[in-house]
């Protein structure tokens, strides 16, 4: 009997700041949908996207839903791992210790490795 094919590994790359464009939320909702269908999925925050990991977000005055709260729910949905471009986080002064979701900081070489390892990459 042939061995079962390994499952497709998905990577959602998020480059949008949390309240600058609807794609910020769309990216996370897409990752949640992939996880809901029991497909392995990781998330990588890069560029402006690292601003999604700011702690204590308060979106009330802007009339939009709180991205921090959505991110805090990721572990409930079997999102395998959350990564962040460490250089971008440092450049924006994002304190990862206060992030709404635990994110592993990667070096540029590790970012390349992660992208090489995945089968399907969704870039937002």
Partner 1 sequence: MIYSLLVLSSPASGHGARHAVQFARSALQRGHTIDRVFFLDDGTFAGSAAAVFPQDEASPLQCWVELSERHALELILCVSSALKRGLLDAGEAQRHERCGPTIHPAFVISGLGQLVDAMTHCDRLVTFGG
Which residues would be at the binding site for partner 1 (CB under 8 A)? 8, 10, 15, 22-23, 26, 29-30, 33-34, 36-37, 39, 120-124
Q: Which is nearer to partner 1, 8 or 98 (CB)?
A: 8
- The distance of closest approach from Cβ of residue 21 to partner 1 in the complex, given in angstroms and rounded to an integer, is 8
3-state secondary structure of 107: coil
- Structural element, H or E, at residue 87: helix 86-91
* Least spacing, CB of residue 84 vs partner 1, in Å: 19
Alpha carbons 27 and 73: distance in angstroms, whole number: 14
State whether residue 83 is helix, strand or coil: strand
Residue with tokens 């990752």: 31
DSSP 22: T
Q: In the bound complex, what is the minimum distance in angstroms from residue 123's beta carbon to partner 1? A: 5
Tokens describing residue 31: 């990752």
Nearer to partner 1, 26 or 98 (CB): 26
Compare residues 69 and 120 and give the one whose CB is closer to partner 1.
120
Q: Six-digit token pair at 73? A: 């729910």
Distance of closest approach, residue 93 Cβ to partner 1, in angstroms: 25
Minimum CB distance to partner 1 smaller for 7 or for 55: 7
């Amino acid at each position: 009997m042939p061995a079962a094919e390994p499952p497709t590994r998905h990577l959602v790359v998020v480059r949008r700041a949390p309240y600058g464009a609807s794609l910020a939320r769309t990216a996370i909702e897409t990752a949640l949908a992939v996880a809901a269908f029991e497909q392995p999925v990781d998330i990588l925050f890069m560029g402006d996207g690292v601003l999604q990991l700011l702690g204590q977000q308060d979106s009330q005055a802007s009339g939009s839903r709180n991205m921090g709260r959505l991110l805090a729910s990721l572990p409930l949905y079997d999102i395998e791992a959350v990564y962040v471009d460490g250089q971008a986080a440092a450049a924006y002064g994002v304190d990862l210790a206060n992030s709404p979701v635990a994110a592993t900081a990667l070096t540029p070489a590790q970012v390349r490795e992660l992208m090489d390892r995945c089968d399907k990459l969704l870039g937002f």
